[in-house]
């Protein structure tokens, strides 16, 4: 039984605690939050000890820590946990700077402990199926178009506090830069432009991706939309084949010209399965037991931060292509 500590008893900390308890491979034995009442309430639900700080929790004899605090604290807290000899799950983003990402990756390598990142979309049925279809030899994926236009910059209240989020790319677009590589393979070059349309920080991005072999993609991502559907859509086009996702609810694909269009609906799945959280937990605990690589290992997390850094460098120079 893996002894688990939860750092941050907010929305995601609560979710991870309940999934870890449900999964059966671990037991939540400690919870901390800077808001003591949250730590006490969540700890009570799991028969766990409540702590007021991460340092106290990390010293309480754990095997694994889940880091679910605001973004800019991910890398420092995850490093501390690794240095204490714990396995770590860190919510996305992996870090909020390239230097922090590299240092965190190095800490995991040095300590010989597993470090997983919360890129849950990789495990969501809609994207797992999209990957299966796009990877089929006959699909010959050539381009990807991703739109992610949501209203997230008003929720949670710290969403526009760059000191806590690192910025919109780290908070939200990170999932879609990762999805581009998950479905198409490594990105070779990035060009990006950004705007400050309705908020004092950058709130909209148009990102051109170049993959090997002349394949390309576009990510359009902003935080000032209305939440009208579709706010999240991925379209992959190959050799007269197309697949289109609709939020995390479903996808349609055309296996060729003049053929039946097929569809799959995931809308009625329980939330934690539709969004891939439950499958991510099962995958991580299986990887811990087997020692095998995971789809959300630290290398993947660090890579997303390199992609974001390339977007930032390109946008700062007015859209010049940046190699990644
Ligand atoms: N993968 C996903 O789908 C997904 C979805 C939402 C949020 N997230 C990520 O999860 C993280 C947490 O988001 P949330 O929605 O749970 O936020 P939240 O505000 O609901 O919870 C954060 C909690 O952390 C606590 N906290 C802050 N600093 C702390 C510290 N130093 N030590 C201990 N506790 C501290 C706060 O008091 C709060 O209870 C964020 O990084 C966010 O990007 C991921």
pLDDT digits (tens, 9 = 90+) for 51-89: 999 999 999 999 999 999 999 999 999 999 999 999 999
Check if the beta carbon of residue 33 is closer than 8 Å to that of residue 79: no
Helix (H) or strand (E) holding 303: helix 298-316
Confidence of residue 111 (pLDDT cuts 50, 70, 90): confident
Ligand 1 close to Cβ of residue 38 (< 6 A): yes
Specify the CATH number for 121-269+303-323; select among 1.10.10.10, 3.40.50.300, 3.30.360.10, 3.50.50.60: 3.30.360.10
247 CA to centre of ligand 1 in angstroms:
23
Mean pLDDT of 25-29: 95
- The more confidently predicted of residues 313 and 157 is 313
Q: How far, in Å, from the CA of 35 to the mean position of ligand 1? A: 12
**And the tokens for 263?**
């569809």
**Segment 273-295 mean pLDDT:** 98
Tens of pLDDT, residues 201-217: 999 999 999 999 999 99
How many Å apart are CA 237 and CA 145, to the nearest integer? 9
User: In the sheet that 26-32 helps form, which strands lie side by side, from edge to edge?
Assistant: 49-51, 26-32, 2-7, 64-67, 87-90, 115-117
CB of 166 closer than 6 angstroms to any ligand 1 atom: no
Asked if 37 contacts 50 with a C-beta cutoff of 8 angstroms, the reply is no
Q: How confident is the model at residue 276 (pLDDT cuts 50, 70, 90)?
A: very high
The band of 166, judged by pLDDT with boundaries at 50, 70 and 90, is very high
**9 CB near ligand 1 (under 6 Å):** yes
Q: Is 159 in the pocket of ligand 1 (CB under 6 A)?
A: no
How much distance in Å is there from the Cα of 92 to the middle of ligand 1?
10
Question: How does the average pLDDT of the chain come out, rounded?
Answer: 97
Residue environment code for 289-323, b if the CB has 16+ CB neighbours within 10 A, otherwise e: eeeeebbbbbebbbbbbbbbbbbbebbeeebeebe
- Centre of ligand 1 to C-alpha 244, Å, is 31
Average pLDDT over residues 144-166: 90
Mean pLDDT in residue range 149-155:
86
Q: How far is CA 173 from CA 38, 118, 166, in A?
A: 29, 14, 12
The first and second tokens of residue 227, run together, are 């939440």
Beta strand pairing call for 64-67 and 87-90: parallel
CB 248 within 8 A of CB 238: no
Q: Which CATH code for domain 2-119+280-296? A: 3.40.50.720
b (16+ CB within 10 A) / e for 57-86:
bbeeebbbbbbbbbbbbbbbbbbbbbebeb
User: What contacts 206, CB < 8 A, 6 or more positions away?
Assistant: 192, 193, 194, 218, 219, 220
pLDDT band at 149 (very low <50, low <70, confident <90, very high): very high
Instruction: Compute, in angstroms, the gap from residue 254 CA to the centroid of ligand 1.
Output: 39
Percent of the chain with pLDDT over 90: 94
Mean pLDDT of 167-181: 97
Residue with tokens 């049925």: 125
CA of 34 from ligand 1 middle (Å) equals: 11
pLDDT at 158: 80
What is the tens place of the pLDDT at every residue in 221-266? 999 999 999 899 999 999 999 999 999 999 999 999 999 999 999 9
Would you say the CB of residue 34 lies under 6 angstroms from ligand 1? yes
* Cβ–ligand 1 contact at 33 (below 6 Å): yes
Domain assignments of the chain as residue spans, ordered by start: 2-119+280-296, 121-269+303-323
State if residue 37 touches ligand 1 by the CB under 6 angstroms criterion.
no
Residue 31 Cα to ligand 1 midpoint, Å, equals 13
Dist. CA 29–CA 299, nearest whole Å:
28
Nearest CA residue ID for atom 40, ligand 1: 70
């Amino acid at each position: 039984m893996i002894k688990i500590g939860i750092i941050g008893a907010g929305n995601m900390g609560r979710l991870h605690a309940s999934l870890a308890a449900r999964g059966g491979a671990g037991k939540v034995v400690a919870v901390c939050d800077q808001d003591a009442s949250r730590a006490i309430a969540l700890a009570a639900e799991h028969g766990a000890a409540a702590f007021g700080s991460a340092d106290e929790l990390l010293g309480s004899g754990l095997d694994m820590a889940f880091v679910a605090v605001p973004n800019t604290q991910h890398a420092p807290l995850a490093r501390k946990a690794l240095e204490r000899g714990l396995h770590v799950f860190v919510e996305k983003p992996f870090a909020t700077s390239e230097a922090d990402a590299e240092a965190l990756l190095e800490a995991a390598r040095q300590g010989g402990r597993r470090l997983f990142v919360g890129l849950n979309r990789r495990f969501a049925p809609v994207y797992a199926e999209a990957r299966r279809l796009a990877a089929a030899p006959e699909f010959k994926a050539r381009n990807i178009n991703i739109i992610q236009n949501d209203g997230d910059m008003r929720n949670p209240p710290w969403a526009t506090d760059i000191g806590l989020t690192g910025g919109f790319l780290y908070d939200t677009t990170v999932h879609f830069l990762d999805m581009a590589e998950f479905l198409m393979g490594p990105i070779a070059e990035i060009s990006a432009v950004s705007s400050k349309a309705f908020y004092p920080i950058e709130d909209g991005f148009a990102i051109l991706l170049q993959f090997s072999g002349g394949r390309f993609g576009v990510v359009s991502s902003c935080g000032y939309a209305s939440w009208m559907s579709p706010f999240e859509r991925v379209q992959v086009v190959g050799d007269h084949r197309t697949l289109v996702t609709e939020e995390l609810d479903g996808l349609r694909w055309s296996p060729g010209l003049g053929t039946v269009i097929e569809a799959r609906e995931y809308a009625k799945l329980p939330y934690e399965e539709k969004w891939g959280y439950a499958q991510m937990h099962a995958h991580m605990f299986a990887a811990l037991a087997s020692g095998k690589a995971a789809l959300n290992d630290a290398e993947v997390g660090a890579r997303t931060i390199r992609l974001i850094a390339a977007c930032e460098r390109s946008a700062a120079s007015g859209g010049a292509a940046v190699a990644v």
